């Protein structure tokens, strides 16, 4: 009996030794990859933290009035008086223009690529749409200044100003004249639209392709046309995913800097018209930060960056939630 | 059963189901028209959206091609107003920044991706996915401010190092996400086979999974590099710009002064530096014809660089995903 | 394959396009007042060059339940889908032969596919309700045809749900999601949805195979109720179900070219108790399958 038990304990100790050794190799590895994962998270927090720290004085000085649309809004580096509303307004307006233009195109492209396109054409076309997103922002700006603005925006702007800009009520949005170069919020919005279409279209296309074919079959078998199926079944089905895609695109538009700065005119005259030059949050940071006049000036600019950071953060979270909801529903159905 | 003569019905007396509500052909024409119209519209929209792509590429090639010459690629800029000169400083700057950013971003990105791929449901894994998403959504100018606060303020001057850090942060989410996806594509049977043989997890990851996913991971790097090298905003107040930057000269001078190569490179990192997109931006802000012309040429170079990398990378990725789908 | 049946064939309205064999076959069974609703003439279905279904000729009698049985992979679902031109949706597939609905070939050029699919409804193997309310699911079809009046829609929805034997179970929760009910109820919802556009024929592709036995029984009872108003064709891999439910049965098998063919077609009792073909006999007695 005793012999058996010592034999057994010898065996188990050998196994114990081996497993301890292999664990040994694993523990440093696991710690390493965990540390790197932590690094990413710490980085995200650090960005928020540094922005917070370096805007402390400005935040203390101006409080919530900094971003308020009410009260007098002026940006005065000389007098050390800063309100960010004109830039927030500019960012929101240009992004809205971009979204309004981009949504129908992106959804249309997504429908075409997912539902109608012959399979052999799908990859090359998708690639080309995605290449639109690969063009560097400055190149969009360059082309914007010298090609798109004079050829497309300036004439359209003049047309809009003459037709819609004279109608009372609409003149808030379309009052001219558009500056001779074409630099305006409209220009920025249009170029932004081109830049975010690939984002929205690609995600929406994936949403459509994830919808189970049985939904299409059910509708077509009842005698619905393809378009009716897309419009009445597929779009409602994938709506939260498409919404998520749109919000992702909106996030990109909010943060876009170079192309916007190059074509928007960078001026904060008081008009609300799309045809007049504007100024966005990212543009003012790009233009003024390197030569900020005073410490308060720098801090105010960092505070703008902080606001921008939070805006994109929140939009990102909403988008993730929406896309996650679609994924969850698809999984539910797959199980059912 | 007896055979009975079957009743023969003619077509007209076939009993038809009673139609209460659905009238026969009404509205079909309109529905079919709407169908064809809307479907055609989506095709038209796709084509229309691709117009800017070809327009920009075409115009940049056309205009930029006119001003590309050897001087442009090998010389430093001449003073404003003079014709000629080049953008060597920007080319070398882009090179330096990209290599630096890659060195900073790739190791952590790779390792974090391993965690994301194999421990997705732990709290840390969920937080990692969240963090990656957030980072990829942060505007590049905000990252530039962060780079300024982190490096420039601490060191007291603009530098290539600061620019490299900013670019690395931009590359990081792309690297993590693509690597994670590529790792997940490796069939788990491969991994399990290795683990079942007694190979520890770290060995399996490094020697089995990683090589299997290698081509996809490399293309992920390429995509991240392409994205980062096209960015301007984060460099505006980190690398700032430097039109006297010439690596060859700096190395020569350094060696003459008796410095070792590593010291020379470290010194190089501390210099402000330009990049192709940054130079492009600055040139468009100057009302000088020669500069404007050169900016088209710079755009040409930039586009060739970025688009080539993108196309190659995406084609490889698409092939890989198609292979794993079993087409 | 020529099938001898004592059902008068519906002759095409137009001039004869292809050779037709006339069979006024001898049958020993009395078939009273049977009329052909659909006539399938030498239908072959191709994927690219590959012929998946070969030369099917058979008749679908009006107001009867016709079952198509056979081992898996023999092309029965493919054949069924060709009857309402759902095969058009598969890329690179095409159909040869004729499928006559009341004497008109549904594959003739300029035929309105949308109309065909309304007149020939389909229920699928796995219930596939839309992610809308029960009411909206059933109202989907009528809305396409321009019916928007709330009262009329309610009456159509109630009528369809009653015909599908689902009304009593859901009448108080019409606003609930169509996906929130049980599998068997979902399938009856899909049937109600198909009925709402007033089809003439209902094709069922293994409608109960994803359901539990009690739900299956309900579906089978429902089919018996429906056949007096509609013509039903059901594909099933469950022989007992075919024997329980159908009046006519078609048995299909894969031939040496890997194409599905029709081996035998006849009245259900005859097929199962006195099959004329040895292969049929082997299948129904369970010697293979």
pLDDT at site B62: 93
Closest alpha carbon to B67 in B300, B277, B302: B300
Asked whether residue B78 carries a pLDDT value surpassing 70, the answer given is yes
Task: Please answer whether residues C52 and C260 qualify as being in contact, where contact means their C-beta atoms are separated by less than 8 angstroms.
Answer: yes
Report d(CA C199, CA B255) in Å as an integer. 90
Q: Which two tokens stand for residue C22?
A: 């006339």
Task: Please answer whether residues C99 and C181 qualify as being in contact, where contact means their C-beta atoms are separated by less than 8 angstroms.
Answer: no
pLDDT at site A25: 65
Percent of chain B with pLDDT over 90: 38
Provide the residue count of chain C.
289
pLDDT at site A240: 87
3-state secondary structure of C18: coil
Q: Kindly state the average pLDDT of the residues C195-212.
A: 92
**Total H helices, total E strands in chain C:** 10, 10
Instruction: Report the relative pairing of strands C65-69 and C93-101 from DSSP bridges.
Output: unpaired
CB contact under 8 A, A118 and C190: no
3-state secondary structure of C53: strand
Report d(CA A36, CA B109) in Å as an integer. 7
E-state strands within chain C: 36-47, 50-61, 65-69, 93-101, 104-105, 120-123, 201-205, 231-235, 248-254, 260-267
Closest alpha carbon to C43 in C35, C51, C33, C31: C51
Report d(CA C274, CA B107) in Å as an integer. 75
Rg (CA), chain B: 30
Question: How near does any CA of chain C get to the CA of A77, in Å?
Answer: 56
CB contact under 8 A, C114 and A215: no
Enclosing H/E stretch for C52? strand C50-61
Asked whether residue A5 carries a pLDDT value surpassing 50, the answer given is no
Report d(CA B122, CA B108) in Å as an integer. 19
pLDDT band for C30, please (50, 70, 90 cuts).
very low
Q: Which two tokens stand for residue C186?
A: 């979902």
Percent of chain B with pLDDT over 70: 91
Report d(CA C265, CA C60) in Å as an integer. 10
Q: Kindly state the average pLDDT of the residues B2-9.
A: 32
Report d(CA B232, CA B298) in Å as an integer. 13
CB contact under 8 A, A129 and B49: yes
Q: Tell me how crowded residue B186 is: count the other CB atoms within 10 A of its CB.
A: 18
pLDDT in tens, C34-52: 788 899 999 999 998 899 9
Asked whether residue C113 carries a pLDDT value surpassing 50, the answer given is yes
pLDDT at site C3: 44
What would the 3-class secondary structure string for C209-254 be?
CCCCHHHHHHHHHHHHHHCCCCEEEEECCCHHHHHHHCCEEEEEEE
**Total H helices, total E strands in chain A:** 15, 2
Measured over the CA atoms of residue C48, residue C51, residue C57 and residue C58, the dihedral's sign is: negative
Report d(CA B44, CA B64) in Å as an integer. 30
Task: Please answer whether residues B177 and A40 qualify as being in contact, where contact means their C-beta atoms are separated by less than 8 angstroms.
Answer: no
For residue B22, the chain C residues in CB contact (below 8 A) are 118, 142, 145, 147, 197-198
Compare CB distances from C28 to B1, B14, B26 and report the shortest one's residue.
B1
Mean model confidence pLDDT for chain A? 86
Q: Tell me how crowded residue C49 is: count the other CB atoms within 10 A of its CB.
A: 6
pTM exceeds 0.90: no
Q: Kindly state the average pLDDT of the residues A121-134.
A: 91
Residue of chain A whose Cα is closest to the Cα of B227: A134
- Determine which of B77-91, C23-37, C203-217 has the lowest per-residue pLDDT on average: C23-37
Q: Kindly state the average pLDDT of the residues C209-214.
A: 89
DSSP secondary structure string for all residues of B163-195: HHHHHHHHHHHHHHHHHHHHHHHS-HHHHHHHH
Instruction: Report the relative pairing of strands C93-101 and C36-47 from DSSP bridges.
Output: antiparallel
CB contact under 8 A, A217 and C118: no
Q: What number is the ipTM of this complex? A: 0.86
Compare CB distances from C112 to B16, B23, B28 and report the shortest one's residue.
B28
Report d(CA B119, CA B262) in Å as an integer. 39
DSSP secondary structure string for all residues of B233-262: GGGTTTT---TT--HHHHHHHHHHTT--HH
Task: Please answer whether residues A77 and A289 qualify as being in contact, where contact means their C-beta atoms are separated by less than 8 angstroms.
Answer: no
pLDDT in tens, B171-215: 999 999 989 988 888 888 888 888 888 777 777 788 888 888 888
CB contact under 8 A, A224 and C183: no
pLDDT at site C56: 93
> Which has the higher per-residue pLDDT, B326 or A122?
A122
Report d(CA C261, CA C62) in Å as an integer. 23
Residue bearing tokens 């057994």? A8
Top residue of B14, B25, B33 to mutate, by most chain C CBs within 10 Å, is B14
Q: Which chains touch C (3 or more CB pairs under 8 A)?
A: A, B
Q: In what order do the strands lie in the sheet with C65-69?
A: C104-105, C93-101, C36-47, C50-61, C260-267, C248-254, C65-69, C231-235, C201-205, C120-123
pLDDT at site A18: 60
For residue C91, the chain A residues in CB contact (below 8 A) are 118-119
Show Cβ contacts of residue C42 under 8 Å, excluding neighbours closer than 6 positions. C18, C55, C56, C57, C96, C97, C98
For residue A134, the chain B residues in CB contact (below 8 A) are 226-227, 230, 306-307, 310
Question: How near does any CA of chain C get to the CA of A240, in Å?
Answer: 13
- Determine which of A147-156, B26-35, B144-153, C244-253 has the lowest per-residue pLDDT on average: B26-35
Closest alpha carbon to A90 in A256, A248, A300, A244: A256
Asked whether residue A222 carries a pLDDT value surpassing 50, the answer given is yes
User: Dihedral (C-alpha) B20, B26, B31, B32: value to the nearest 10 degrees?
Assistant: 120
Task: Please answer whether residues B91 and B276 qualify as being in contact, where contact means their C-beta atoms are separated by less than 8 angstroms.
Answer: yes
Task: Please answer whether residues B303 and A139 qualify as being in contact, where contact means their C-beta atoms are separated by less than 8 angstroms.
Answer: yes
Closest alpha carbon to A65 in A309, A303, A308, A311: A303
Enclosing H/E stretch for A75? strand A75-76
Question: How near does any CA of chain A get to the CA of C150, in Å?
Answer: 18
CB contact under 8 A, B112 and A39: yes
User: Dihedral (C-alpha) A310, A313, A314, A319: value to the nearest 10 degrees?
Assistant: 160
Alpha-helical runs (H) found in chain B: 28-67, 70-74, 88-118, 123-137, 140-147, 153-155, 160-185, 188-196, 201-204, 210-229, 247-256, 261-269, 276-284, 289-325
Report d(CA B187, CA B112) in Å as an integer. 20
Task: Please answer whether residues A301 and A273 qualify as being in contact, where contact means their C-beta atoms are separated by less than 8 angstroms.
Answer: no
Task: Please answer whether residues B276 and B60 qualify as being in contact, where contact means their C-beta atoms are separated by less than 8 angstroms.
Answer: no
Q: Which two tokens stand for residue B281?
A: 């931006």
Report d(CA C24, CA C7) in Å as an integer. 8
pLDDT in tens, C59-92: 999 999 999 999 988 899 999 999 999 999 888 8
For residue A54, the chain B residues in CB contact (below 8 A) are 145, 149
pLDDT at site B69: 83
CB contact under 8 A, C130 and A333: no
Q: Tell me how crowded residue A295 is: count the other CB atoms within 10 A of its CB.
A: 11
3-state secondary structure of B197: coil
Q: Which two tokens stand for residue A238?
A: 């994938």
User: Dihedral (C-alpha) C89, C93, C97, C98: value to the nearest 10 degrees?
Assistant: 0
Compare CB distances from B46 to A44, A125, A231 and report the shortest one's residue.
A125
CB contact under 8 A, A223 and C179: no
DSSP secondary structure string for all residues of C131-145: SSBHHHHHHHHHHHT
A140 in contact with B, Cβ within 8 Å: yes
Mean model confidence pLDDT for chain B? 84
User: Dihedral (C-alpha) B8, B10, B15, B17: value to the nearest 10 degrees?
Assistant: 140
Asked whether residue B11 carries a pLDDT value surpassing 60, the answer given is no
Question: How near does any CA of chain B get to the CA of C77, in Å?
Answer: 24
B312 in contact with A, Cβ within 8 Å: no
Asked whether residue C141 carries a pLDDT value surpassing 50, the answer given is yes
C197 in contact with B, Cβ within 8 Å: yes
pLDDT in tens, A64-117: 888 887 777 788 887 777 888 889 999 999 999 999 999 999 999 999 999 998
pLDDT in tens, C142-193: 999 888 889 999 999 999 999 998 999 999 999 999 989 998 999 999 999 9
pLDDT band for B327, please (50, 70, 90 cuts).
very low
Report d(CA B114, CA B183) in Å as an integer. 8
Residue of chain B whose Cα is closest to the Cα of C141: B22
Asked whether residue B6 carries a pLDDT value surpassing 70, the answer given is no
C152 in contact with B, Cβ within 8 Å: yes
Show Cβ contacts of residue A298 under 8 Å, excluding neighbours closer than 6 positions. A54, A289, A292
**Paired strand residues for C99:** C40
Report d(CA A155, CA B22) in Å as an integer. 51
Show Cβ contacts of residue A194 under 8 Å, excluding neighbours closer than 6 positions. A132, A140, B49, B52
pLDDT at site C29: 37
CB neighbour class for A323 (10 Å; exposed up to 12, middle 13-18, buried from 19): buried
Residue bearing tokens 């603009």? B158
pLDDT at site A166: 80
Report d(CA C179, CA A218) in Å as an integer. 14
Compare CB distances from A282 to B39, B141, B303 and report the shortest one's residue.
B141
Rg (CA), chain C: 19
Question: How near does any CA of chain C get to the CA of B41, in Å?
Answer: 21
Question: How near does any CA of chain B get to the CA of C214, in Å?
Answer: 30
CB contact under 8 A, C118 and A222: yes
- Determine which of A17-26, A169-178, B162-171, C24-33 has the lowest per-residue pLDDT on average: C24-33
Q: Tell me how crowded residue A87 is: count the other CB atoms within 10 A of its CB.
A: 25
Enclosing H/E stretch for B276? helix B276-284
């Amino acid at each position: 009996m005793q012999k058996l038990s010592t034999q057994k304990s010898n065996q188990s100790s050998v196994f114990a030794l081996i497993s301890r050794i292999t664990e040994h190799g694993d523990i440093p590895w696991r710690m390493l990859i965990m540390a790197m994962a932590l690094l990413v998270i710490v980085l995200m927090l650090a960005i928020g933290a540094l922005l917070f720290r370096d805007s402390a004085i400005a935040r203390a000085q101006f409080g919530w009035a900094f971003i308020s649309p009410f009260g007098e809004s002026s940006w005065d580096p000389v007098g050390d008086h800063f309100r960010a509303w004109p830039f927030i307004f500019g960012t929101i307006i240009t992004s809205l223009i971009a979204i309004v233009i981009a949504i129908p195109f992106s959804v249309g492209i997504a429908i075409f690529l997912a539902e109608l396109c012959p399979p052999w054409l799908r990859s090359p076309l998708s690639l080309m749409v995605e290449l639109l997103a690969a063009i560097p922002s400055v190149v969009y700006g360059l082309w914007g200044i010298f090609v798109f603005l004079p050829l497309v925006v300036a004439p359209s702007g003049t047309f809009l100003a003459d037709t819609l800009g004279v109608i009372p009520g609409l003149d808030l949005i379309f009052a001219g004249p558009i500056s001779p170069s074409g630099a305006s919020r409209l220009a920025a919005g249009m170029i932004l639209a081109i830049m975010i279409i690939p984002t929205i279209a690609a995600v929406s296309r994936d949403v459509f392709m994830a919808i189970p074919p049985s939904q299409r079959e059910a509708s077509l078998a009842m005698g619905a046309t393809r378009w009716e199926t897309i419009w009445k079944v597929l779009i409602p089905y994938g709506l939260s995913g498409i919404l998520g895609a749109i919000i992702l695109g909106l996030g990109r538009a909010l943060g876009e800097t170079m192309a916007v700065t190059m074509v928007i005119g960078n001026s904060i005259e008081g008009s609300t018209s799309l045809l007049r030059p504007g100024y966005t949050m990212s543009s003012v940071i790009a233009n003024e930060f390197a030569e900020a006049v005073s410490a308060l000036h720098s801090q105010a600019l960092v505070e703008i960056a902080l606001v921008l950071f939070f805006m994109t953060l929140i939009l990102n979270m909403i988008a993730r939630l929406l896309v996650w909801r679609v994924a969850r529903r698809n999984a539910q159905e797959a199980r059912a | 059963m007896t055979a009975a003569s079957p009743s023969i019905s003619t077509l007209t007396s076939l009993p038809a189901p009673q139609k209460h509500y659905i009238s026969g052909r009404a509205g079909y024409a309109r529905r079919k028209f709407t169908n064809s119209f809307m479907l055609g519209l989506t095709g038209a929209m796709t084509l229309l959206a691709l117009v800017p792509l070809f327009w920009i590429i075409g115009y940049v090639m056309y205009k930029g091609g006119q001003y590309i010459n050897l001087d442009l690629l090998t010389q430093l800029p001449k003073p404003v107003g003079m014709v000629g000169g080049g953008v060597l400083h920007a080319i070398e700057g882009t090179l330096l920044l990209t290599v630096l950013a890659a060195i900073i971003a790739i190791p952590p990105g790779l390792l974090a991706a391993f965690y994301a791929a194999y421990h997705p449901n732990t709290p840390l894994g969920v937080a990692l996915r969240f963090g990656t998403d957030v980072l990829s959504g942060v505007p590049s100018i905000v990252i530039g401010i962060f780079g300024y606060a982190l490096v420039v303020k601490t060191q007291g001057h603009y530098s290539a190092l600061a620019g490299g850090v900013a670019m690395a942060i931009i590359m990081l989410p792309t690297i993590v996400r693509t690597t994670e996806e590529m790792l997940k594509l490796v069939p788990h049977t491969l991994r399990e086979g290795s683990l079942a043989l007694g190979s520890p997890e770290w060995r399996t990851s490094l020697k089995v999974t990683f090589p299997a996913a290698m081509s996809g991971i490399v293309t992920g790097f390429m995509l991240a590099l392409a994205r980062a090298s096209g960015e301007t905003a984060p460099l505006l107040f980190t690398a700032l710009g430097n039109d006297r930057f010439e690596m060859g000269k700096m190395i020569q001078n350094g060696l003459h002064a008796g410095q070792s190569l590593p010291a020379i490179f470290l010194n190089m990192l501390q210099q402000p530096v330009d990049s192709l997109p940054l130079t492009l931006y600055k040139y468009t802000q100057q009302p000088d014809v020669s500069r404007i012309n050169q900016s088209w040429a710079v755009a040409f170079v930039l586009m060739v660089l970025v688009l080539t990398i993108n196309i190659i990378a995406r084609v490889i990725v698409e092939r890989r995903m198609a292979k794993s789908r079993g087409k | 394959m020529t099938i001898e049946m004592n059902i008068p064939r519906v002759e095409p309205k137009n001039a004869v396009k292809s050779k037709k064999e006339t069979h006024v076959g001898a049958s020993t069974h009395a078939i009273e007042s049977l009329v052909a609703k659909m006539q399938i003439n030498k239908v072959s279905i191709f994927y690219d060059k590959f012929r998946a279904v070969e030369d099917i000729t058979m008749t679908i009698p009006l107001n009867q339940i016709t079952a198509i049985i056979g081992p898996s992979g023999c092309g029965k679902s493919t054949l069924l889908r060709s009857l309402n031109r759902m095969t058009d949706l598969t890329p690179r597939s095409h159909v040869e032969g004729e499928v006559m609905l009341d004497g008109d070939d549904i594959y003739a050029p300029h035929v309105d596919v949308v109309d065909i699919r309304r007149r020939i409804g389909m229920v699928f193997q796995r219930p596939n309700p839309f992610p809308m309310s029960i009411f909206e699911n059933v109202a989907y079809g009528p809305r396409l045809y321009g019916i928007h009046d709330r009262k009329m829609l309610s009456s159509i929805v109630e009528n369809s749900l009653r015909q599908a034997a689902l009304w009593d179970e859901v009448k108080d929760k019409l606003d609930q999601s169509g996906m929130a009910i049980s599998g068997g109820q979902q399938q009856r919802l899909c049937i109600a949805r198909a009925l709402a556009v007033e089809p003439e024929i209902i094709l069922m592709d293994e409608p109960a195979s994803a359901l539990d036995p009690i739900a299956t029984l309900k579906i089978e009872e429902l089919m018996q109720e429906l056949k007096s108003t509609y013509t039903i064709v059901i594909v099933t891999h469950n022989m007992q179900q075919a024997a329980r439910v159908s009046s006519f049965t078609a048995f299909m098998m894969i031939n040496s070219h890997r194409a599905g063919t029709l081996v035998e077609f006849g009245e259900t009792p005859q097929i199962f108790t006195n099959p004329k073909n040895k292969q049929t006999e082997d299948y129904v007695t369970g010697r293979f399958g």
